[in-house]
Amino acid sequence: MASEGRRPLVAGNWKMNGLRSSVPIVEAIRDGLSPALTDKIDVLICPPATLISSCVAAVYGSPVAIGGQNLHARPSGAFTGSISAEMFADLGATYVIVGHSERRAYHYETDDGVHAKALGARRAGLRGIICVGETMEERQQGRALDIVRAQLAIGLPKGATGEDTVIAYEPVWAIGSGRTPTAKEIAEVHASLREMLDKLVGEEAHKIRILYGGSVKPANARELMAVENVDGALVGGASLVAEDFLGICRAYEG
């Protein structure tokens, strides 16, 4: 339940999926959003870097935004295979995901590295979506709140604002598993993150959106988006099917 004037954001993360033949998915999402809905929410698709330019062209003149999935903290240099925030911005992207759990797990990204990347996103004028989340083991140990608060405390740049920063809570154990935390569990984490934001950035905390991610589907979107302090969703697999992603967006209708 987005409040305090925060505008909900529904963001799709395609991960390592999609070829040029996938661009019509973005076009279908663009065409399926009613003006009444885009008056209420922001919509974002984060395709692979290879498709950024094509997707930016596909949504030109529409309310749909395009973002990157990862970035190098530096603006340029001898970093073979890496992509800077400036490169994404040059292609027309306006957001970038930072510190997704898959980056942390498979590419050994640290909280300090997430902090540096979030600063890089800000430097280039992109909105950084900083991801936090606990593993099942950490939750079973009763450490979920401690883990996400620590990730936020280190990863969030000083002076973060609602204009340049979004937080996404994605319990690692729920991503792609079909398992979803209860509304009570989500509310507890989001409330704790909001409290931590207040300590870190003061009044600006009320302007920073906190998304929920982890097996969000059309069937559960309305319930999840109604949870206190949930300001939208970071959607994985369902964002690769236009009607499923639109179904999640439509949780905000009415």
Whether 100 sits among the annotated catalytic residues: the reply is yes
Q: Determine whether the annotation assigns residue 22 to a binding site.
A: no
Exposed/middle/buried for 36, CB within 10 Å: 0-12, 13-18, 19+? Answer: exposed
Distances (CA, A) of 221 to 93, 118, 168: 26, 28, 15
Q: Which residues contact 102 (CB under 8 A, 6 or more apart)?
A: 15, 175
Catalytic residue among 100, 134, 138, 190: 100
Tell me the C-alpha distance between 41 and 32, whole Å.
14
Q: Dihedral of CA 167/169/172/176: which sign?
A: negative
Exposed/middle/buried for 107, CB within 10 Å: 0-12, 13-18, 19+? Answer: exposed
Q: Determine whether the annotation assigns residue 236 to a binding site.
A: yes
Whether 134 sits among the annotated catalytic residues: the reply is no
Tell me the C-alpha distance between 153 and 74, whole Å.
21
Q: Determine whether the annotation assigns residue 13 to a binding site.
A: yes
Q: Determine whether the annotation assigns residue 15 to a binding site.
A: yes
**3 state DSSP class of 232:** strand
Catalytic residue among 102, 134, 138, 170: 170
CA 143, 148, 150: angle at the middle one, nearest 5? 95
Task: Select from 198, 184, 99 the least CA-distant residue to 147.
Answer: 99
Q: Determine whether the annotation assigns residue 215 to a binding site.
A: yes
By annotation, the residues acting in catalysis are 100, 170
- In the annotated binding site for substrate, the residues are 13-15, 176, 215, 236-237
Annotated binding site: 13-15, 176, 215, 236-237
